[in-house]
Amino acid sequence: MSRLGPVITLAAGAVLAVGLGVASITATPAAEQTAASTAADAPPAEESSAAASPSPTRTEPKKIAKADYGGRVKGNGALIAISIRNGKAVGYFCDGKSEAWFKGSESEGEVQLKGVANAGSKITAELGGGRAKGEVSVAGGKWDFVAPTVVKPSGLYRATAIVRGAKFRAGWIMIKDTDGRSYQVGLAESNGEPRGIPQLDSEQPTAPVTVDDTTVYPKDVDGFIEEMQ
């Protein structure tokens, strides 16, 4: 009996070692499979970062393609007209005794115009609701205005010519009411001196007019806005 004891003990140890080895072999693939599954389910780090931070898109300010405004200046009685073509803008102020031309641009529903002959003159206005609402500064004076949108023949007109060897320039604003009545104001100069100005045809404002036996051809804003920029 005493000789069998160590043999049985060794045999039991061998069986236990074999069992642990089998258990280890069985458990290892399961652990590796679980780790591999977890790694496969996780999204790639670069893709997650890209999805969370999309590249910004830059948009240019929207410009008005075409618009014309005309109305009276409050507290002055003058007329004012503003025309816009693809973001470029021109303006004209006239009360029959004095005048001022303006040029500039429109962006995001606003116009900023500076005087052509006098940098101190300016027009600032907000556009919307079918009107231009703002302020005009001319020769030290400052007035508010509201100018509704207008359609031809209402609007801004200009003419240049050589009359008796002198450079002639004229500007007009024509406003036609909804009831069909029209009124206009304008001024002309020749070599910097004031000149008499003919009235435009209320139905065809671009029809030729005569100044000192010289035929002059008024243009609407589409015909001169580029040359004023």
Residue 102: closest CA among 87, 85, 83, 86: 83
The model's pTM is 0.73
β-pair partners for 105: 88, 112
Q: What's the confidence (pLDDT) of residue 56?
A: 60
In the chain, where are the structural domains located? 66-228
**Mean pLDDT per 10-residue run, the chain (229 residues)?**
38 37 39 43 47 60 90 94 97 95 96 92 97 96 97 96 92 90 93 90 95 93 94
